[in-house]
Amino acid sequence: MAAASYLTGTALQIRRYRQEPHPDESGSDSAARRGLFVLAILGAVLHALANQQVIWVDGGLNLGLASSAGLVSWIMLVFVLVANLWVPVRNLLVLVLPLAALGALVALTTPAVPVLPTAELTDPLIWHILISIVAYSILFMAACQSVLLAVLEHRLKTRQTLRLLKLLPPLQTMETLLFGLLWTGITALTLAIGTGFLFLDDLFEQRVVHHTVLSLASWFLYAILLAGHRLFGWRGTTAVRWTLIAFSLLVLGYFGSKFVIEVLLAR
């Protein structure tokens, strides 16, 4: 039901744009906007209930690759909905809603097997896990945003047009949102790393050392990028490259190891 709400909202948004190339200038845009947000919010509520059923299972937490993807996609959608209260990013839903639908459906394909047994769960560990997932979600959005920003900037420089790009916010708004995501993401990542060192036994044991080292390296690259933006005005292609490299390290550290263990090794 959540995926159906997301896909319906996506279809309505694309259909409305095809009928009205500049929908923000039409008199019917207000009603269409309300309908889009109703579908997105309804889907988010249903998706949250689905996540609760998939992740909280008898015997512990199911935080496998697919269930984590479902949770990450939900956090991305909620972030866009909240961000829209301050920044005009409604049109980004045409990209986020399909991702959220995919995340919801993928989570349904995995068996509800507890990855973290109840006996190993403590309140600090649960907070560390939640903060980490929030950090990954926001920084994933920043990576997607950086790709969109690079494509939009390239099209503007070469004076090429792409109909779908007209759905995106203006270039300046996209760049403001990117650095807002980066600041929020590195704050969450700092909390995740800090709580890991405080509450976990040994972050440099052989089983998790690669995850710790890659997360620290990613944090360092994000910090350099934000310092360069503040001090030297880094933006555009430079910001895109640093963002993607830093996020690639996070992917290798977390989802990469999960893919190897759960898919390739089937453990």
72-85 confidence digits (pLDDT tens):
999 999 988 998 88
Task: Say if residue 27's pLDDT is above 50.
Answer: no
pLDDT interval class at 201 (50, 70, 90): low
Report the distance separating Cα 131 and Cα 159, nearest Å.
Answer: 42
Residue 113 — φ and ψ, nearest 5°?
-105, 125
Of 67-76, 166-175, 253-262, the range with the lowest mean pLDDT is: 253-262
Q: Residue 116 pairs with which residues in a beta bridge?
A: 61
Task: Say if residue 37's pLDDT is above 80.
Answer: yes
Q: Which residue has the higher pLDDT, 10 or 87?
A: 10
Task: Determine the average pLDDT of the residues in 223-249.
Answer: 93
139, 161, 11, 38: CA torsion to nearest 10: 60
Task: Determine the average pLDDT of the residues in 42-58.
Answer: 90
Task: Determine the average pLDDT of the residues in 199-228.
Answer: 82
In this prediction, residue 19 carries a pLDDT of 67
In this prediction, residue 252 carries a pLDDT of 83
Report the distance separating Cα 107 and Cα 68, nearest Å.
Answer: 8
Tell me the C-alpha to C-alpha distance, in Å, between residue 265 and each of 70, 150, 258, 260, 262.
22, 36, 10, 6, 6
In this prediction, residue 26 carries a pLDDT of 46
Task: Say if residue 261's pLDDT is above 60.
Answer: no
Number of structural domains (the chain) is 1
Of 183-187, 210-214, 263-267, the range with the lowest mean pLDDT is: 263-267
Could you tell me the residue range of the domain that residue 240 belongs to? 2-264
SS3 track for the chain:
CHHHHHHHHHHHHHHHHHHCCCHHHCCCHHHHHHHHHHHHHHHHHHHHHHHHHHHEECCEECCCHHHHHHHHHHHHHHHHHHHCCCCCCHHHHHHHHHHHHHHHHHHHCCCCCCCEEHHHCCHHHHHHHHHHHHHHHHHHHHHHHHHHHHHHHHHHHCCCCCHHHHHCCCHHHHHHHHHHHHHHHHHHHHHHHHHHHHHCCCCCCCCCHHHHHHHHHHHHHHHHHHHHHHHHCCCHHHHHHHHHHHHHHHHHHHHHHHHHHHHHCCC
Of 12-26, 44-58, 138-152, the range with the lowest mean pLDDT is: 12-26
Put simply, whether the predicted model's pTM sits higher than 0.95 gets the answer no
pLDDT interval class at 25 (50, 70, 90): very low
In this prediction, residue 173 carries a pLDDT of 81
Report the distance separating Cα 153 and Cα 238, nearest Å.
Answer: 12
Task: Say if residue 94's pLDDT is above 90.
Answer: no
pLDDT interval class at 62 (50, 70, 90): confident
What percent of the chain clears pLDDT 90, i.e. is strictly above it? Answer: 33
In this prediction, residue 14 carries a pLDDT of 80
Task: Say if residue 246's pLDDT is above 80.
Answer: yes
Determine contact, residues 15/21, Cβ cutoff 8 Å.
Answer: no
In this prediction, residue 44 carries a pLDDT of 96
Mean pLDDT score of the chain, rounded to an integer? 82
Q: What is the pLDDT of residues 165-180, one digit of tens each?
A: 666 777 788 888 899 9
